[in-house]
Amino acid sequence: MVLFGGRGSEFEVLNDVWLFDISDQYPKWKELKYGLSSALGELPFPRVGHSAILVLGGKVLVYGGEDSQRRRKDDFWILDTPALLQYESGSKKMTRKMWKKLRIDGQCPNYRSFHGACVDASGCCVYIFGGMVDGLVHPSEALGMRFDGHLYQVELVLHL
């Protein structure tokens, strides 16, 4: 299990990454820290109320949420989970390059936080539902990248 961001014990908004290691008799959380030499590449801003789901290739897709000023986000990020596993096995340091901001074509969902998200069996189509948009709860509004009948969906085209 991978955990990204959220709120800390002092209610600060975070962008840290944790891995829940169940390989041992006593499962434990491990914080994955970025090496100082990993200056290249972007990182997602700290956020809370975002979605994080497993997609094709064993990668984690992070969408939306809000920052410490309660400004909502509409960005999509991919965390290279297989690279995290290599990091965890000691073969390399975690770098900023493990994160990739996705370029979006077509219609984008409104800035959104505290929404639901799921992926279909193919791992390529993500559905985003409800949440907070412009300070209002929209429990019955489904948004994504392509309008198909009454439901929008996010179609992922990842170069794996």
pLDDT of residue 8: 94
In angstroms and rounded to an integer, the radius of gyration of the C-alpha atoms of the chain is 16
**Domains of the chain (ranges, CATH numbers):** 2-155 (2.120.10.80)
Terminal Cα-to-Cα distance of the chain (whole angstroms): 21
pTM of the complete model: 0.80
Beta strands in the chain (DSSP E): 2-7, 13-21, 28-32, 51-55, 59-63, 76-79, 99-101, 116-119, 125-129, 132-133, 136-137, 142-143, 146-148, 151-155
Grade residue 144 by pLDDT with cuts at 50, 70 and 90. Answer: very low
Least confident of 48-57, 61-70, 129-138: 129-138
% of the chain exceeding 70 in pLDDT: 72
155 Cβ neighbours under 8 A, 6+ residues apart: 124, 125, 145, 146
Query: If DSSP codes are grouped into helix, strand and coil, which group holds residue 14?
Result: strand
Grade residue 85 by pLDDT with cuts at 50, 70 and 90. Answer: low
Report whether 64 contacts 115 (CB < 8 A).
yes
- Over 50: is that where the pLDDT of 65 sits? yes
Grade residue 159 by pLDDT with cuts at 50, 70 and 90. Answer: low
